[in-house]
Amino acid sequence: MQSCIRYLFIVVSVCCTIVMSHAETTVGIVRPALMTAPIGFAATDGASYGIPVCNPTSGELEAPAGWRIVTCSTIAEINTAMGTANTIILIPAGTTLGTGNRSTNSTNDLYINGRSNITIIGMGGVTVKKIVVQGTCNNVLVRNITITDFEYDGMPITASGHIWIDHCTIGWDVTSSDKENPDGAMDIYSNSNLYLTISWCIFRNHWKTMLHGKDDKDNGATKRHVTHYCNYYYNTHQRTPRIRGGQTHVLNCLYENTGFGRTANMTNDEYDHAYKMLYQDDGEYLKTRHVVTDGYGIMATNNSDVVVENNFFYDVRWPIVCSTPCEDFTAKYGELQSPDICNGCVTSRTANAGVKYCRQTGNEYYDLGLPTQVAVKKETASCPNAVCDTIHVPLSYFINPEMLNPGGRSIKFDEHDPSHAFVPEAISGYYPDGYEKYDANEVRQIVSTCAGADLYDMNECQALAPTLTLTSGSLDQSSITSISPIVLTWGGGASSVKVTGLPESNFTINAGAKTVTISGTLQTDDANFSVMTLGGKAGETVIITGTLSKNGSLIPVSSTDAASGGDGSSNSECPNLACVTATGLSSGNYTLRLYDTTEQEVRTPFVGTLNGGTVCFCFSLDALTSGNYTWKLYKEGTAEAVATGSLNVQ
């Protein structure tokens, strides 16, 4: 059976359904259940992992046959528990462990050293500063843990055996201003016979994200077998991954702002360092090179065998690049030279062996968030070394035009000798029976909302209850042409939100920030809208509603100014307006709502604070059809109306 529930949704346009920053019309997204077995290399050769199951009667976690469950809240307790194989270690919710320092022998960080048949699961909000996986480790699973604030490497893997990293979040909350520190979010090197799957993880806010192979000598063809499945590489600069040797499969992953190219979303530090690093950081190495960006997504090099399929690249200048001999590379790309690589195009640098095989298929991109011009090096008479002068020129100046994607801002996916790349489908146990890959356009909507730690309640074996809150703005606005921005934020187990009652031009969904913003020019006279959470624990959908109106001109006045006494006739202070009066009010926040004869809410004339006593509300009757209406005044914190009355419109 397929181990991952597919998503049901509707896509109406290639360019306007990017969930990260565009209006979203996706409906029916359902978060997949936690996988009970990995996709890819970690599943091969009969590998099996300790996955706790939920007892439907007690609601408690139970270990599968032959395994035990222990709870550990310190590094020392975890080390002791790992001394016994077939152990599932649960780290209590809210626990923070480790120091994340540079020491390779720190007892303050989590070391999985030569252990087999071990599962480590964070129970929610668990942060570990550093996790090291080394030695011979068979059937090791790490799940639902955030690795952050590390000083050097976040999760170095120097092990052999079958290892599965699932639903983890790796990287700092913000990008470091120092591209050299921290070093790698997850570096994988100096090992043999490693069969690793990294699935549904977020790698975020990092410069040098991930290496396969420590240096050009660490390029053995059988050392590493790595599957990247449904991972979200968000705001990373390069090496996602950079590959030396072995077999690597990158499947159904999402890349967003890789290379720090989308300047509108960059911090000042990110922009300054990305702009300057081409000219200042590498000295002689970059003096004579035409480098548009040293940021990239996937780089295949040095005896590697790579398959890249069905991924989505959102604002990535250079999605996939293969390091081939200099002559081949120049013939293909033009004067542009590949970044961060010793490919023989630079004198005094040792050329590596070049890529072995790289096949790419089914990948898609969006690059309109990238600038049309980029910084490049230029030598001048006053600046012969090109480290003190920069200019801006069109990207095509250095790149053969046919090597640009149709958007004209990103470089086409590269490949090398693709027919000889390995075939994942031919590897026994790689995919479960009935498994189907997501296509790239599914990936961009699914992975951004369903990857990372803390999306599931590990105690209940199901998704967390969704949350939806009003962050800023007023849900009910009258007498407006432009909507005063309304921001709502979702969380918990919610994977996204659905907006109804408004055109796409009036709302923006940002999956990275988990916000929906309602703004812009109101397109109709009145709009009753709702925002509904998608995903999360069944039966606990959250819905927030509001009303926007171009009419409904409200003037709250004192009872002494009300000539009508609340019967709906014209008021001398408010000509051509209806007036209604409420008496005996206490001070507080109130909402006045107007309903038709079917009890359908048609307008919200007033939302605000009142001092109490008797208050007359005057509002426009424009755009209301003739007939009878009911008005109701609600005080915040009460379910029933504190005042009500009838209103006839002629």
pLDDT exceeds 70 at position 4: no
Give residue-wise pLDDT tens across range 418-454: 999 999 999 999 999 889 999 999 998 899 889 999 9
pLDDT of 18 reads 28
State yes or no: pLDDT of 20 exceeds 90. no
pLDDT attached to residue 357: 94
Q: What is the band of 6 on the pLDDT scale with cuts at 50, 70, 90? A: very low
Which pLDDT tens digit goes with each residue over 142-178? 999 999 999 889 999 999 999 999 999 999 888 877 7
| 1-30+464-548 CATH pick, 1.10.600, 2.50.20, 2.60.40, 2.60.98 | 2.60.40
Q: Kindly state the average pLDDT of the residues 534-540.
A: 70
Beta-bridge partners for 159? 135
- Candidates 2.160.20, 3.40.50, 1.10.260, 3.40.1130; correct CATH number of 131-450? 2.160.20
| Mean pLDDT of the region 5-13 | 23
Query: Average per-residue pLDDT in the chain?
Result: 79
Answer whether 97's CB lies under 8 Å from 149's CB.
Answer: no
Residue 325 pLDDT:
73
**555-649 maps to which CATH number?**
2.60.40.10
Judging by DSSP bridges, how do beta strands 224-229 and 247-251 pair with one another?
parallel
At 250-289, the pLDDT tens digits run 999 999 988 877 766 556 665 665 555 444 444 444 445 5
* pLDDT, tens digit (0-9, with 9 covering 90-100), for 329-351: 778 887 776 665 544 455 444 55
Report for 97-106, 343-352, 432-441, 616-625: range of highest mean pLDDT: 432-441
Residue 188 pLDDT > 50, yes or no?
Answer: yes
pLDDT at position 103 is: 60
Instruction: Return the closest-CA partner of residue 304 out of 450, 420, 170, 185.
Output: 420
Residue 635 has pLDDT above 70, yes or no: yes
568, pLDDT greater than 60: no
- Please name the residue ranges forming H helices in 54-177: 75-81
Q: Is a pLDDT exceeding 80 seen at residue 321?
A: yes
pTM reported for the whole predicted model: 0.68
Average pLDDT over residues 586-601: 85
Lowest mean pLDDT among 3-17, 143-157, 561-575: 3-17
pLDDT digits (tens, 9 = 90+) for 30-83: 678 889 999 999 999 999 999 998 776 666 788 999 999 999 999 999 999 999
Average pLDDT in the 301-327 region? 90
Q: Which of the four pLDDT bands, split at 50, 70 and 90, describes residue 298? A: very high
**Closest by CA position to 227, among listed 146, 309, 171, 160:** 309
Domains 131-450 and 555-649 share a fold: no
Are the C-beta atoms of 18 and 444 separated by less than 8 Å? Answer: yes
Q: How far apart are CA 274 and CA 210, in angstroms?
A: 18
Would you put residue 550 in left (φ > 0), alpha (ψ -120 to 50) or beta? alpha
Confidence of residue 392 (pLDDT cuts 50, 70, 90): very low
Give one DSSP letter per residue of 464-501, joined into a string. Answer: PPEEEEEEES-SEE-S-SEEEEEEEEEEET--EEEEES
Query: Is the per-residue pLDDT at 199 higher than 90?
Result: yes
Domain edges within the chain: 1-30+464-548, 131-450, 555-649
- Which CA distances in Å does 72 have to 87, 88, 91, 92, 513? 11, 10, 5, 7, 32
Q: Is the pLDDT of residue 563 over 60?
A: no
Amino acid at 78: I
